[in-house]
Amino acid sequence: MNANQSEPKLTERAGFWERAVAYLIDGLILSFVTSAIVPVISFGFLLPFYWWADSFSNEPDIVPFWFIGTGVLLWILIWGAYFVGFWVRRGQTPGKMAMRISVIQTNGSAITVEKALLRYLGYIVCGAFVLIPFLWVVFDPRKQGIHDKFAGTCVVKIGKS
């Protein structure tokens, strides 16, 4: 497309607020689903394996890290199946249906599996960049987030009085 051509007029583009409300609706639905599924899988099926694996480790707190890793992986898979599945089958998630908006390709055609997977990968990458400043605390020896380092601050525990 050269500078004299404009993008084809398909329909009016959905703005920030319509998209944000749709994502909020989807997030609420998915929060209920993941809060029901992840503990069942983690505690019911994986906890015995974690305890067994922990018995071979010299690290005292390996089980919580396994749970965090498994929880994050399950979250990514469940949310991915939801978004990619709805985008490919209907072009809309339930949140987008409620807001009367849809995902299509820029040429006006329905979204493909490949495009849906790329779109979801974009969600993950953007989400990771949002969380990195806060998760930095886990790896920093002084337990400061990037925002703490930037501002010269830290978070401390208050002793009981």
**Domain membership flag for residue 60:** yes
- 3-state DSSP helix/strand/coil % of the chain, to nearest 5: 65, 0, 30
Does a structural domain hold residue 159?
no
Contact 136, 130 (CB under 8 A): no
Q: Using CA of residue 29, residue 33, residue 38, residue 39, what is the dihedral sign? A: positive
Instruction: For the full predicted model, state whether its pTM sits above 0.85.
Output: no
What is the reported pLDDT for 56?
A: 59
Tell whether 149 is covered by a domain.
no
**Full domain range(s) for residue 41:** 16-136
**Could you give the CA distance from residue 76 to residue 110 in angstroms, rounded to a whole number?**
24
On whether residue 4 sits in a domain, the answer given is no
Task: Please provide the DSSP assignment of 90-104 as one string.
Answer: HS--HHHHHHT---B
- Based on the structure, what is the number of domains in the chain? 1
Per-residue pLDDT of the chain (161 residues; tens, 9 = 90+): 444 444 445 578 888 899 999 999 999 999 999 888 877 776 666 666 666 666 656 655 555 666 667 778 888 999 999 999 999 999 999 999 999 999 998 888 899 999 999 999 998 888 888 878 777 888 888 888 887 888 888 888 777 65
